A and B are shown apart, each in its own frame.
Chain A
Amino acid sequence: MAKILIPTPLRQFAEKNNSVAVDATTVGEALASLTTQFPDLRKNLFNDEGKLRSFVNVYVNDEDIRYLQKDATAVGDGDTISIVPSIAGGRC
């Protein structure tokens, strides 16, 4: 099982979970499993064409999947997948 960490802004769409364990061999499968479990997450993670939105990055452990094999990046037991959306707060 790989672990997906859900960032604070998206927890409201994942029944307030901060991490979810998924059975998957690639990042693509892991995110598909996640959005099947929590359909409300889908529009926050993917655009209408099903592509990962450009203000959301996905990491396997500490590496950005854009510099690995993207959706096909292999994951396995003990791997941590992080979803890192852009947040803007600071002055407020």
Chain B
Amino acid sequence: MLTQEEVSRYSRHLIMPEVGVDGQEKLKAAKVLLIGTGGLGAPVAMYLAAAGVGTIGLVDFDVVDVSNLQRQVIHGTKDIGKKKIDSAEETMRDINPLIKIVKHEVALTSENALAIMCNYDIIADGTDNFPTRFLINDACVMLNKPNVYASIFRFEGQATIFAAEGGPCYRCLYPEPPPPGLVPSCAEGGVLGILPGVVGLIQATEVVKLILGAGEPLIGRLMLYDALAMRFRELKLRKNPECICSTGDMKLIDYDHFCGIQKPEPPPLVGEISPKDVKTMIESRQDFILIDVREPHEFQIGRIPTSNLIPLGELPKRIAELDPNAHYVLHCKMGGRSAKGCDVLRAAGFKRVFNMTGGITAWSEQVDPTVPKY
């Protein structure tokens, strides 16, 4: 039953035949788990709260950073340093105090995923990494719960519903993750701030449609959105009969291992050098060449004065410009791309090649805070 307060609040829903009192009661009874309260999670959480989804669970363990605010509109400047889950809850309560918000301040793992997810009807995946996406998929298949999925990169988004009754799962589309380093993350590749707004609201729309049982759900179809071209395209997704979601072999595994990710704090690799040591080398005028493998637009944001810009993509072509006997230190934003750059040089026979750990972000933190972090 809807209260009088709810009738007033949701009146624009109630006068629509596609929602009506029955639909609003379904929304009120629904339990939706949002995994991630970042770029995608922000609009999903705000609109689902506004729409009157009765129970919304949030999973996040991160804190609000100033660089989040360009797109994570659920958090504000006053929230910097606060737990994202608390900041998100505050915004949602302001939008709609009538709903229940359940906070799960954890990283989703193979150990806790089933226990958390089993309390919800629908899962919305707004995470930012492959291990968690495979984990969410596998748990949704095991629990038989739809996974309303979206992901974003720069100007491009993908959205669909996985693991719905009879529909394909994430593994039907991508049986395996890419090896680390081959596909850039948002932190390395960037993302247009507005993009998660558009793509997140596709997710929110599909959540609401699933709850209402209305329209044609985005099952068996992959929606691709290109913001630069302002074009939506749709591709067919099929349930792969050879996928483990069909053969029944699904169990939760070590997803970091599956995705080729080393455990935290791996021993430093030979060939790495800290920002502080690089600073000492510069100050003592040691003979070495510092190469920044980031893109020109990142170089513009901030740079180490003695660095030379050669974007990673151009490195193989420009290798002939470089003396293979010289001493090199490579850096990027966080250390991922420059590690690949080091591999490129080493493969070409360069002997003295070092990767600056943590990239210019660590440089800013440890050496020169006037270099902006981004």
Contacts and interface: CB of A to CB of B under 8 A. Distances in A.
B236 A62 contact: yes
Contact of A90 (B38, B156, B183, B238): B38
Query: Considering residues B185, B240, B313, which has the most beta carbons from chain A within 10 angstroms of its beta carbon?
Result: B313
Contacts, number: 114
A63 interface: yes
Interface in A47-92: 53-55, 57, 59, 62-64, 66-67, 82, 84-92
Contact of A12 (B36, B237, B313): B313
Interface string B143-161: 0000000111111101000
Contact of A13 (B178, B187, B191, B313): B313
Interface of A: 7-9, 12-13, 18, 40, 44, 53-55, 57, 59, 62-64, 66-67, 82, 84-92
B130 interface: yes
Range for the number of chain B residues in contact with chain A = 35 or more
A8 B128 contact: no
Interface stretch (B11-19, B168-176, B318-326): B168-176
Contacts of B240: 66
B185 A86 contact: no
B127 A90 contact: yes
A90 B40 contact: yes
A88 B224 contact: no
Contacts of A54: 174-176
A18 B233 CA distance: 15
Contacts of B233: 62, 82
A92 B191 contact: yes
A90 B316 contact: no
B174 A57 contact: yes
B163 interface: no
16 contacts: A8-B156, A9-B184, A12-B313, A62-B236, A66-B240, A85-B183, A86-B178, A87-B151, A88-B127, A88-B128, A89-B152, A89-B153, A89-B189, A91-B39, A91-B129, A92-B38
Given A9-B154, A18-B229, A55-B174, 14 more contacts: A8-B154, A9-B189, A44-B182, A54-B174, A57-B174, A88-B127, A88-B128, A88-B183, A90-B150, A90-B152, A91-B126, A91-B127, A92-B38, A92-B187
